[in-house]
């Protein structure tokens, strides 16, 4: 049963109206493109290790599993076709890198495991999670990702009790969409996937269902049916991503399976009107039954995180660190007693403040007190132009009952989605550039 004490994002009968005019969406994309080109690149500096932890700071541990049995054309994440011998060796290296991070003095409050298909060898994943929990006793919750095929394997149940939040990539229940994006043959029909999800809901404290909107030919009625099925399924958490087009997927996505960008507003309104009446809205694209569950975007709740594994990112202090994307070099570095960190990019304070404001808008939790306590600045002065622009487009208003809180409107939530979509596409372009030099021996 849904927790009736939790108030939904929308009042009964309330509907989300017009969000943003089309010219504003286009303008936002142009502004984001400017900053992405300016900031999202990594210096070619080879490093032996990330920095040591700072006293009093809290960190999340991210672990990347870069293997899939099939590669989806629209996926922009760092992944390789699965080969058992390489995957087994990789998991061993991953645990050794965790040992090295422990020796640097790190502990973590949370762990997020992404991919790829993280559950591609369940026994190795179990060993890795158990190893992480032993090394880092501060870990209170573990989030993990998987696909609809993996949840049917007998070994999948071994993750019960180890994983607190399991995110399952579904994308759509519509058979035409599943066939269109080559998932029907891989994972079955929408009805089959729906049946498997019902079994998975009982295994973990939080099960998150990942959906994607913005496909070409995805009508509002098709999207409405997906949302209605989700409400009937009643998982604890739902994430609804817009389809992202990057330099990696431009040929296979933009002109083939992606809808026109300006259709997103109408689709987003369907999502908010359906899920908003049954769930709390946790971020621009995540909905949950309660207000205290982990987000699919761990960067929202964690200012600093350290990544282990090939292609993992870390954000420590004001610096972005990137692990090597080459499996060969990753193994060589780990065997030499190093971490996978290979590149870095430093940011000035203003850039970090802009980044945190974007995340605060995306999560609809803009707090003047946060910027004052964490960064020692008055938000309205330090980011005067940015705050003025958000007010002018109707994205934010002041909370008359709390001077430290800034209210994010429905238009602001959609703006946060547009900005985060552009930001993640920019991060995926970084991945594409770092993968470009890889040879067959690196994979």
Q: Give the model confidence (pLDDT) of 347-362 as tens digits.
A: 999 999 999 999 999 9
* Per-residue pLDDT, 300: 84
Closest C-alpha among 115, 139, 3 to residue 64? 115
Confidence label for 4 from pLDDT (cuts 50, 70 and 90): very low
Who wins on pLDDT, 308 or 80? 308
- CA dist list (Å): 176 to 89, 182, 243: 38, 10, 16
Least confident of 134-143, 246-255, 421-430: 246-255
* Per-residue pLDDT, 5: 40
Q: What is the pLDDT of residues 105-120, one digit of tens each?
A: 999 999 999 988 888 8
Dihedral sign of CA atoms 222, 428, 359, 136 in order: positive
Average pLDDT over residues 281-288: 92
Least confident of 26-30, 183-187, 391-395: 26-30
**Percentage of residues in the chain with pLDDT exceeding 90?**
59
Most confident of the following: 45-49, 150-154, 395-399: 395-399
In the sheet where 141-146 sits, what is the strand order? 280-281, 286-288, 237-242, 206-213, 165-171, 141-146, 110-115, 60-65, 305-308, 313-316, 319-323, 341-346
CA gap 384, 400 in Å, rounded: 20
Please state the pTM of the whole predicted model.
Answer: 0.89
Domain boundaries, the chain: 43-288
Least confident of 37-46, 182-191, 224-233, 316-325: 37-46
Q: What is the pLDDT of residues 236-281, one digit of tens each?
A: 999 999 887 655 544 444 455 555 555 788 899 999 999 988 899 9
Closest C-alpha among 286, 259, 260 to residue 271? 286
Q: Number of helices and strands (H, E) in the chain?
A: 14, 17
> Which SS3 state, helix, strand or coil, does residue 402 take?
coil
* Per-residue pLDDT, 81: 83
- Residue ranges with strand state E in 219-367: 237-242, 280-281, 286-288, 305-308, 313-316, 319-323, 341-346, 366-367
Q: Could you tell me if 169 and 151 are in contact, meaning their C-beta atoms sit under 8 angstroms apart?
A: no
* Per-residue pLDDT, 433: 80
Q: Could you tell me if 73 and 106 are in contact, meaning their C-beta atoms sit under 8 angstroms apart?
A: no
Average pLDDT over residues 307-318: 94
Average pLDDT over residues 198-219: 91
Give the domain 43-288 fold.
pyruvate-formate lyase- activating enzyme (3.80.30)
- With residues binned 3-state (H G I as helix, E B as strand, rest as coil), the percentages for the chain, rounded to 5, are 45, 20, 40
* Per-residue pLDDT, 250: 47
């Amino acid at each position: 049963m849904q927790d009736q004490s939790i108030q939904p994002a929308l009042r009964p009968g309330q509907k989300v109206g017009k969000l943003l005019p089309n010219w504003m969406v286009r303008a936002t994309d142009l502004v984001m493109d400017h900053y992405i080109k300016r900031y999202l690149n990594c210096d070619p500096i080879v490093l032996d290790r990330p920095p040591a932890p700072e006293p009093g700071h809290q960190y999340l541990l991210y672990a990347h599993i870069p293997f899939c049995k099939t590669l989806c054309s629209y996926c922009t994440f760092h992944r390789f076709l699965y080969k058992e011998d390489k995957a087994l060796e990789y998991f061993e290296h991953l645990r050794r890198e965790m040992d090295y991070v422990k020796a640097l003095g790190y502990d973590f409050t949370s762990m997020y495991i992404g991919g790829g298909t993280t559950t591609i060898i369940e026994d190795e994943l179990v060993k890795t999670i158990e190893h992480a929990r032993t090394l880092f006793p501060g870990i209170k919750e573990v989030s993990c990702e998987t696909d609809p095929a993996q949840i049917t394997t007998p070994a999948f149940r071994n993750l019960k009790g180890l994983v607190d939040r399991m995110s399952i990539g579904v994308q759509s229940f519509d058979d035409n969409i599943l066939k269109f994006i080559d998932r029907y043959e891989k994972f079955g029909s929408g009805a089959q996937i729906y049946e498997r999800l019902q079994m998975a809901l009982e295994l973990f404290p939080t099960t998150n269902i990942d959906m994607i909107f913005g496909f070409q030919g995805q009508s509002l009625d098709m999207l409405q049916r997906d949302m209605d099925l989700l409400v009937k399924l009643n998982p604890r958490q739902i994430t609804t991503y817009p389809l992202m087009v990057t330099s990696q997927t431009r040929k296979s996505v933009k002109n083939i399976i992606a809808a026109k960008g300006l259709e997103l507003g109408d689709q987003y309104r369907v999502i908010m009107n359906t899920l908003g009446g049954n769930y709390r809205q946790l971020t621009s694209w995540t909905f949950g039954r309660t207000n205290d569950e982990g987000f699919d975007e761990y960067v929202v709740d964690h200012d600093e995180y350290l990544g282990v594994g090939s292609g993992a990112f870390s954000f420590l202090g004001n610096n972005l660190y990137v692990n090597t994307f080459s499996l060969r070099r990753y193994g060589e570095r780990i065997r030499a007693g190093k971490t996978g960190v290979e590149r870095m990019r430093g940011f000035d304070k203003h850039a970090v403040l802009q980044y945190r404001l974007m995340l605060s808008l995306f999560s609809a939790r803009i707090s003047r007190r946060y910027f004052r306590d964490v960064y020692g600045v008055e938000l309205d002065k330090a980011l005067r132009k940015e705050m003025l622009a958000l007010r002018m487009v109707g994205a934010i208003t002041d909370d008359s009952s709390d001077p430290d809180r800034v209210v994010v409107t429905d238009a602001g939530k959609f703006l946060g989605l547009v900005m985060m979509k552009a930001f993640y596409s920019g991060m995926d372009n970084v991945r594409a550039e770092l993968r470009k030099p890889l040879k067959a021996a690196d994979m």
